[in-house]
Amino acid sequence: MEKNSSYKKATYNLGNSLYQEKNYKEAIPQYNITVENAKDAFEKAEGYHNIGNAMLQGKNYKGAVDAFKNALRNNPNDDETRYNLAVAQKLLEDEENKNKDKNKDKGKTKTKIKRRTKTRTKTKTKTKTKKRETIKTKKIQRKMMTKGTTKRNKTQRKMKKKNKSLNPVKCHLNKLNSC
């Protein structure tokens, strides 16, 4: 192997054996040699596909996305590579979101400390505003209660008027029947 390292089948097979032994970092250079010595696009696509898998296993998601894109440029009909690209993009997105969340959490802890010192001086004003708000809500509730009763009274009056207008007719009929 050392005498002729450009022998493409040997480097490809060595990369595969290193990959199977979970030695992903050492498998990548072997696949790179395979890609460099490939004669057709299909062999390049296989090499890039395997580089992407090794990088994916090594949690180098950005490198894996690039490798899978290169593989699809050489063989756009490869569904396995397309699937692996989608997986790598999803993992990269998740990793970026975790990093953003960590950065936000670091910033929040600093602001929380600052807010604590500010809220200690404003506790008296907060309790006063809370009392005012509860008094206002109680007043609003009372108004709603009285409004509800006036509405009920109005509807009751309307019903009585209707009943009175109907009652004379009934009485009149009763009078006729009694006559």
Query: How confident is the model at residue 112, as a pLDDT?
Result: 45
pLDDT digits (tens, 9 = 90+) for 9-33: 888 899 999 999 999 999 999 999 9
Query: How confident is the model at residue 79, as a pLDDT?
Result: 93
pTM (predicted TM-score): 0.56
The CATH homologous superfamily of the domain defined by 8-102: Tetratricopeptide repeat domain (1.25.40.10)
DSSP-assigned letters across all residues of the chain: --S-TT-HHHHHHHHHHHHHTT-HHHHHHHHHHHHHH-SSHHHHHHHHHHHHHHHHHTT-HHHHHHHHHHHHHH-TT-HHHHHHHHHHHHHHHHHHHHHHHHHHHHHHHHHHHHHHHHHHHTHHHHHHHHHHHHHHHHHHHHHHHHHHHHHHHHHHHHHHHHHHHHHHHHHHHHHHHH-
Q: What's the whole-number average pLDDT of the chain?
A: 74
**Does 77 or 148 have the greater pLDDT score?**
77
